[in-house]
Structure 1
Protein backbone atom coordinates (compact mmCIF):
# COMPACT_ATOMS: atom_id res chain seq x y z
CA UNK A 1 0.00 0.00 0.00
CA UNK A 2 1.37 3.37 -1.10
CA UNK A 3 1.13 5.97 1.65
CA UNK A 4 2.74 8.78 -0.36
CA UNK A 5 1.79 12.24 0.71
CA UNK A 6 1.04 14.75 -1.99
CA UNK A 7 2.70 18.09 -1.37
CA UNK A 8 1.06 21.23 -2.69
CA UNK A 9 4.13 22.95 -4.13
CA UNK A 10 2.32 26.25 -4.60
CA UNK A 11 1.31 26.34 -0.95
CA UNK A 12 4.78 25.22 0.12
CA UNK A 13 6.41 28.00 -1.94
CA UNK A 14 4.88 30.69 0.27
CA UNK A 15 3.63 32.65 -2.74
CA UNK A 16 0.70 34.95 -2.06
CA UNK A 17 -1.66 35.84 -4.92
CA UNK A 18 -3.20 39.27 -5.43
CA UNK A 19 -6.25 39.42 -7.67
CA UNK A 20 -6.88 42.94 -8.94
CA UNK A 21 -10.56 42.10 -9.34
CA UNK A 22 -10.76 42.22 -5.55
CA UNK A 23 -10.17 45.98 -5.80
CA UNK A 24 -12.74 46.64 -8.52
CA UNK A 25 -15.25 49.26 -7.37
CA UNK A 26 -18.92 48.31 -7.15
CA UNK A 27 -20.28 51.66 -8.34
CA UNK A 28 -22.76 51.77 -11.21
CA UNK A 29 -21.78 54.13 -14.02
CA UNK A 30 -24.46 55.57 -16.31
CA UNK A 31 -23.86 57.53 -19.50
CA UNK A 32 -25.55 60.87 -20.08
CA UNK A 33 -25.33 61.80 -23.76
CA UNK A 34 -25.66 65.55 -24.28
CA UNK A 35 -26.81 64.86 -27.84
CA UNK A 36 -30.34 64.22 -26.57
CA UNK A 37 -30.46 67.84 -25.32
CA UNK A 38 -29.13 69.52 -28.48
CA UNK A 39 -31.31 71.56 -30.81
CA UNK A 40 -31.87 69.43 -33.92
CA UNK A 41 -29.41 66.97 -32.41
CA UNK A 42 -26.39 69.11 -33.19
CA UNK A 43 -26.53 72.65 -31.77
CA UNK A 44 -26.61 74.03 -28.23
CA UNK A 45 -29.19 76.78 -28.05
CA UNK A 46 -29.51 78.11 -24.53
CA UNK A 47 -33.31 78.33 -24.31
CA UNK A 48 -33.89 74.88 -25.84
CA UNK A 49 -31.09 73.33 -23.82
CA UNK A 50 -32.49 74.69 -20.53
CA UNK A 51 -35.98 73.45 -21.41
CA UNK A 52 -34.68 70.02 -22.38
CA UNK A 53 -32.72 69.44 -19.19
CA UNK A 54 -35.52 70.86 -17.00
CA UNK A 55 -37.86 68.18 -18.43
CA UNK A 56 -35.44 65.34 -17.73
CA UNK A 57 -35.82 63.18 -14.64
CA UNK A 58 -32.34 63.28 -13.11
CA UNK A 59 -33.35 61.00 -10.22
CA UNK A 60 -32.35 58.03 -12.44
CA UNK A 61 -28.75 58.97 -11.61
CA UNK A 62 -29.31 58.71 -7.84
CA UNK A 63 -26.30 57.08 -6.16
CA UNK A 64 -24.53 56.47 -9.45
CA UNK A 65 -21.50 57.83 -11.27
CA UNK A 66 -22.33 59.70 -14.47
CA UNK A 67 -20.22 59.64 -17.61
CA UNK A 68 -21.11 62.76 -19.58
CA UNK A 69 -20.45 62.34 -23.30
CA UNK A 70 -21.57 63.85 -26.59
CA UNK A 71 -21.95 61.27 -29.33
CA UNK A 72 -22.52 64.06 -31.86
CA UNK A 73 -19.66 66.11 -33.25
CA UNK A 74 -20.89 69.35 -31.72
CA UNK A 75 -19.29 72.27 -29.95
CA UNK A 76 -20.54 72.28 -26.37
CA UNK A 77 -19.98 75.50 -24.43
CA UNK A 78 -18.68 75.11 -20.86
CA UNK A 79 -21.85 76.61 -19.37
CA UNK A 80 -23.85 73.65 -20.73
CA UNK A 81 -21.77 71.24 -18.62
CA UNK A 82 -22.24 73.53 -15.64
CA UNK A 83 -26.02 73.43 -16.10
CA UNK A 84 -25.94 69.63 -16.25
CA UNK A 85 -23.96 69.42 -13.03
CA UNK A 86 -26.43 71.75 -11.35
CA UNK A 87 -29.15 69.16 -12.12
CA UNK A 88 -26.99 66.11 -11.33
CA UNK A 89 -25.61 67.50 -8.07
CA UNK A 90 -28.47 66.24 -5.92
CA UNK A 91 -28.33 62.69 -7.29
CA UNK A 92 -25.01 61.57 -8.76
CA UNK A 93 -22.12 60.59 -6.50
CA UNK A 94 -19.64 61.43 -9.26
CA UNK A 95 -19.79 63.24 -12.60
CA UNK A 96 -17.07 63.40 -15.22
CA UNK A 97 -16.72 64.30 -18.87
CA UNK A 98 -15.36 60.90 -19.77
CA UNK A 99 -16.27 57.42 -20.95
CA UNK A 100 -17.71 54.91 -18.48
CA UNK A 101 -14.61 52.74 -19.03
CA UNK A 102 -12.24 55.54 -18.06
CA UNK A 103 -14.34 56.48 -15.03
CA UNK A 104 -14.28 52.84 -13.89
CA UNK A 105 -10.50 52.79 -14.36
CA UNK A 106 -10.15 55.99 -12.30
CA UNK A 107 -12.25 54.53 -9.47
CA UNK A 108 -10.29 51.27 -9.64
CA UNK A 109 -7.00 53.16 -9.37
CA UNK A 110 -8.31 55.09 -6.36
CA UNK A 111 -9.36 51.81 -4.76
CA UNK A 112 -5.86 50.39 -5.24
CA UNK A 113 -4.22 53.54 -3.93
CA UNK A 114 -6.31 53.39 -0.75
CA UNK A 115 -5.69 49.67 -0.24
CA UNK A 116 -3.56 48.60 2.70
CA UNK A 117 -0.93 46.40 1.07
CA UNK A 118 1.26 46.20 4.18
CA UNK A 119 0.28 42.53 4.58
CA UNK A 120 2.54 41.78 1.59
CA UNK A 121 5.68 43.20 3.23
CA UNK A 122 8.63 40.84 2.71
CA UNK A 123 6.42 38.30 0.94
CA UNK A 124 6.62 36.53 -2.41
CA UNK A 125 3.69 37.97 -4.33
CA UNK A 126 2.15 37.06 -7.67
CA UNK A 127 -0.34 39.41 -9.30
CA UNK A 128 -2.94 37.23 -10.99
CA UNK A 129 -3.01 37.45 -14.78
CA UNK A 130 -6.32 38.55 -16.24
CA UNK A 131 -6.95 39.62 -19.82
CA UNK A 132 -9.89 41.88 -18.91
CA UNK A 133 -7.92 44.20 -16.62
CA UNK A 134 -6.36 47.40 -17.91
CA UNK A 135 -2.53 47.33 -17.91
CA UNK A 136 -2.52 50.64 -16.03
CA UNK A 137 -3.69 48.74 -12.94
CA UNK A 138 -0.74 46.33 -13.19
CA UNK A 139 1.58 49.32 -13.46
CA UNK A 140 0.02 50.95 -10.38
CA UNK A 141 0.06 47.83 -8.20
CA UNK A 142 3.70 47.22 -9.19
CA UNK A 143 4.63 50.72 -8.08
CA UNK A 144 2.92 50.13 -4.75
CA UNK A 145 4.39 46.68 -4.16
CA UNK A 146 7.99 47.37 -5.27
CA UNK A 147 9.14 48.83 -1.94
CA UNK A 148 7.26 46.21 0.10
CA UNK A 149 7.66 42.73 -1.32
CA UNK A 150 10.52 40.27 -1.36
CA UNK A 151 9.65 39.24 -4.92
CA UNK A 152 6.99 40.27 -7.41
CA UNK A 153 5.60 37.93 -10.03
CA UNK A 154 2.86 37.93 -12.66
CA UNK A 155 0.59 35.11 -13.78
CA UNK A 156 -0.49 32.13 -11.71
CA UNK A 157 1.09 30.94 -8.48
CA UNK A 158 2.04 27.60 -10.09
CA UNK A 159 3.88 29.12 -13.08
CA UNK A 160 4.56 32.80 -12.40
CA UNK A 161 6.71 35.14 -14.46
CA UNK A 162 9.26 36.71 -12.12
CA UNK A 163 9.28 40.50 -12.39
CA UNK A 164 11.89 41.18 -9.69
CA UNK A 165 13.47 39.78 -6.53
CA UNK A 166 14.84 41.89 -3.69
Structure 2
Protein backbone atom coordinates (compact mmCIF):
# COMPACT_ATOMS: atom_id res chain seq x y z
CA UNK A 1 0.00 0.00 0.00
CA UNK A 2 1.46 3.35 -1.05
CA UNK A 3 0.85 6.55 0.79
CA UNK A 4 1.42 8.71 -2.25
CA UNK A 5 0.06 12.23 -1.92
CA UNK A 6 -2.09 13.15 -4.88
CA UNK A 7 -2.53 16.79 -5.83
CA UNK A 8 -6.16 16.76 -6.92
CA UNK A 9 -6.09 20.50 -7.66
CA UNK A 10 -3.30 20.03 -10.21
CA UNK A 11 -5.21 17.14 -11.80
CA UNK A 12 -8.48 19.05 -12.08
CA UNK A 13 -9.66 20.81 -15.21
CA UNK A 14 -9.95 24.15 -13.40
CA UNK A 15 -8.69 27.15 -15.33
CA UNK A 16 -7.35 30.14 -13.37
CA UNK A 17 -8.05 33.68 -14.53
CA UNK A 18 -5.80 36.12 -12.66
CA UNK A 19 -6.45 39.85 -12.95
CA UNK A 20 -3.02 40.45 -11.49
CA UNK A 21 -1.56 39.13 -14.76
CA UNK A 22 -3.06 42.22 -16.41
CA UNK A 23 -1.96 44.74 -13.78
CA UNK A 24 -0.41 47.76 -15.50
CA UNK A 25 3.36 48.03 -15.57
CA UNK A 26 3.14 51.80 -15.93
CA UNK A 27 3.34 53.96 -12.82
CA UNK A 28 0.08 55.53 -11.63
CA UNK A 29 0.50 59.21 -10.78
CA UNK A 30 -1.86 61.72 -9.20
CA UNK A 31 -1.86 64.99 -11.11
CA UNK A 32 -3.28 67.69 -8.85
CA UNK A 33 -4.53 70.65 -10.86
CA UNK A 34 -4.68 72.90 -7.80
CA UNK A 35 -1.02 73.68 -8.49
CA UNK A 36 -2.17 75.87 -11.39
CA UNK A 37 -4.92 77.68 -9.46
CA UNK A 38 -4.49 81.07 -7.79
CA UNK A 39 -3.77 80.26 -4.13
CA UNK A 40 -4.81 76.70 -4.97
CA UNK A 41 -8.51 77.63 -5.09
CA UNK A 42 -9.32 80.15 -7.80
CA UNK A 43 -9.19 79.43 -11.50
CA UNK A 44 -8.17 82.52 -13.43
CA UNK A 45 -8.52 81.35 -17.00
CA UNK A 46 -5.73 83.38 -18.61
CA UNK A 47 -3.20 82.45 -15.89
CA UNK A 48 -4.39 78.84 -15.82
CA UNK A 49 -3.87 78.46 -19.57
CA UNK A 50 -0.47 80.14 -19.39
CA UNK A 51 0.64 77.86 -16.53
CA UNK A 52 -0.37 74.78 -18.52
CA UNK A 53 1.46 76.01 -21.62
CA UNK A 54 4.64 76.55 -19.59
CA UNK A 55 4.54 73.23 -17.74
CA UNK A 56 6.68 70.31 -18.93
CA UNK A 57 4.16 67.49 -19.22
CA UNK A 58 6.78 65.13 -20.63
CA UNK A 59 7.47 64.06 -17.03
CA UNK A 60 4.25 62.03 -17.35
CA UNK A 61 5.53 60.05 -20.32
CA UNK A 62 4.03 56.53 -20.38
CA UNK A 63 2.36 56.96 -16.98
CA UNK A 64 -1.23 56.41 -15.88
CA UNK A 65 -2.62 59.75 -14.73
CA UNK A 66 -5.31 60.30 -12.09
CA UNK A 67 -6.47 63.90 -12.56
CA UNK A 68 -7.74 65.45 -9.36
CA UNK A 69 -7.95 68.65 -7.36
CA UNK A 70 -6.95 68.23 -3.72
CA UNK A 71 -8.41 71.54 -2.59
CA UNK A 72 -12.07 72.47 -2.20
CA UNK A 73 -11.91 74.63 -5.32
CA UNK A 74 -15.08 74.80 -7.37
CA UNK A 75 -13.96 74.18 -10.92
CA UNK A 76 -15.65 74.20 -14.30
CA UNK A 77 -15.60 70.86 -16.12
CA UNK A 78 -13.42 72.31 -18.84
CA UNK A 79 -10.52 72.73 -16.37
CA UNK A 80 -9.96 68.96 -16.30
CA UNK A 81 -10.58 68.77 -20.05
CA UNK A 82 -7.90 71.37 -20.73
CA UNK A 83 -5.33 69.63 -18.53
CA UNK A 84 -6.12 66.40 -20.40
CA UNK A 85 -5.28 68.08 -23.71
CA UNK A 86 -1.79 68.84 -22.40
CA UNK A 87 -1.02 65.56 -20.62
CA UNK A 88 -2.64 63.05 -23.00
CA UNK A 89 0.11 63.20 -25.67
CA UNK A 90 2.53 61.83 -23.05
CA UNK A 91 0.41 59.67 -20.76
CA UNK A 92 -0.56 56.05 -21.32
CA UNK A 93 -3.98 56.82 -19.80
CA UNK A 94 -5.72 59.81 -18.21
CA UNK A 95 -8.73 59.58 -15.93
CA UNK A 96 -10.38 62.09 -13.63
CA UNK A 97 -10.60 60.92 -10.03
CA UNK A 98 -8.56 58.92 -7.55
CA UNK A 99 -5.92 56.31 -8.33
CA UNK A 100 -8.55 53.66 -7.58
CA UNK A 101 -10.87 55.32 -10.14
CA UNK A 102 -7.97 55.21 -12.59
CA UNK A 103 -7.47 51.48 -12.06
CA UNK A 104 -11.20 50.86 -12.45
CA UNK A 105 -11.13 52.68 -15.80
CA UNK A 106 -7.96 50.80 -16.77
CA UNK A 107 -9.54 47.39 -16.07
CA UNK A 108 -12.79 48.38 -17.73
CA UNK A 109 -10.90 49.21 -20.90
CA UNK A 110 -8.73 46.11 -20.63
CA UNK A 111 -11.50 43.60 -19.89
CA UNK A 112 -13.33 44.75 -23.01
CA UNK A 113 -10.31 43.65 -25.08
CA UNK A 114 -9.82 40.17 -23.58
CA UNK A 115 -11.06 37.21 -25.60
CA UNK A 116 -13.06 35.33 -22.97
CA UNK A 117 -14.15 32.71 -25.53
CA UNK A 118 -11.03 30.71 -24.62
CA UNK A 119 -12.87 29.86 -21.38
CA UNK A 120 -15.82 28.36 -23.26
CA UNK A 121 -17.42 25.58 -21.18
CA UNK A 122 -14.52 25.55 -18.69
CA UNK A 123 -14.72 25.63 -14.91
CA UNK A 124 -12.90 28.88 -14.06
CA UNK A 125 -11.50 30.33 -10.88
CA UNK A 126 -11.09 34.07 -10.83
CA UNK A 127 -8.05 34.27 -8.61
CA UNK A 128 -8.27 36.30 -5.44
CA UNK A 129 -5.62 37.17 -2.87
CA UNK A 130 -3.73 39.50 -5.15
CA UNK A 131 -0.50 41.12 -4.05
CA UNK A 132 -1.45 44.19 -6.06
CA UNK A 133 -4.34 46.59 -5.56
CA UNK A 134 -6.91 45.18 -7.96
CA UNK A 135 -10.14 47.16 -7.60
CA UNK A 136 -13.16 45.07 -6.57
CA UNK A 137 -15.02 46.48 -9.56
CA UNK A 138 -12.58 44.65 -11.85
CA UNK A 139 -13.69 41.32 -10.37
CA UNK A 140 -17.32 42.21 -11.11
CA UNK A 141 -16.45 43.20 -14.69
CA UNK A 142 -14.49 39.97 -15.23
CA UNK A 143 -17.32 37.89 -13.75
CA UNK A 144 -19.90 39.47 -16.07
CA UNK A 145 -17.79 38.61 -19.11
CA UNK A 146 -16.75 35.18 -17.83
CA UNK A 147 -20.38 34.14 -17.26
CA UNK A 148 -20.98 34.39 -21.00
CA UNK A 149 -18.50 31.57 -21.63
CA UNK A 150 -17.47 29.58 -18.59
CA UNK A 151 -19.37 26.54 -17.37
CA UNK A 152 -18.77 27.70 -13.81
CA UNK A 153 -17.06 30.61 -12.09
CA UNK A 154 -15.47 30.49 -8.67
CA UNK A 155 -13.49 33.04 -6.70
CA UNK A 156 -10.36 32.57 -4.63
CA UNK A 157 -7.78 29.82 -4.82
CA UNK A 158 -8.22 26.25 -6.06
CA UNK A 159 -7.91 24.92 -2.52
CA UNK A 160 -10.60 27.23 -1.13
CA UNK A 161 -12.73 28.59 -3.96
CA UNK A 162 -16.12 30.19 -3.39
CA UNK A 163 -18.73 29.18 -5.99
CA UNK A 164 -20.05 32.27 -7.79
CA UNK A 165 -21.85 31.02 -10.89
CA UNK A 166 -22.84 27.75 -12.50
CA UNK A 167 -24.50 27.58 -15.89
CA UNK A 168 -27.89 25.90 -15.86
CA UNK A 169 -28.18 22.79 -17.99
Fold match, TM over 0.5?
A: yes
- What is aligned with 1:141? 142
- 1:160 CA drift (Å): 1.6
Deviations, residues 103-158 of structure 1 (Å, cap 9, x unaligned): 12211122122112222211111111226432212211111111312222112112
When the two structures are superposed, what TM-score results if normalisation uses the length of structure 1? 0.84
CA–CA separation in structure 2 for the residues paired with 1:100 and 1:24:
13
Deviations, residues 67-102 of structure 1 (Å, cap 9, x unaligned): 221111112234433442343243233333222221
Mapping for residues 9-158 of structure 1, pairs under 5 Å: 9-130=8-129, 132-158=133-159
**91-100 or 114-123, which moves further after superposition?**
91-100
Q: Which runs of 5+ in 2 are unaligned?
A: none
Contact 1:34 1:70 (C-alpha < 8 Å) held by counterparts: yes
Structure 1 residues 48 and 108, CA, compared in 2 at 3 Å: closer, same or farther? same
DSSP 3-state at the match of 1:108: helix
DSSP 3-state at the match of 1:32: strand
CA–CA separation in structure 2 for the residues paired with 1:85 and 1:147:
35
Structure 1 residues 136 and 85, CA, compared in 2 at 3 Å: closer, same or farther? closer
When the two structures are superposed, what TM-score results if normalisation uses the length of structure 2? 0.83
Deviations, residues 38-90 of structure 1 (Å, cap 9, x unaligned): 11222112233233323321111122232221111112234433442343243
**89-98 or 120-129, which moves further after superposition?**
89-98
How many residue pairs align between the two structures? 165
Q: Which runs of 5+ in 1 are unaligned?
A: none
Residue 161 of structure 2 is aligned to residue 165 of structure 1: no
Contact 1:23 1:112 (C-alpha < 8 Å) held by counterparts: no
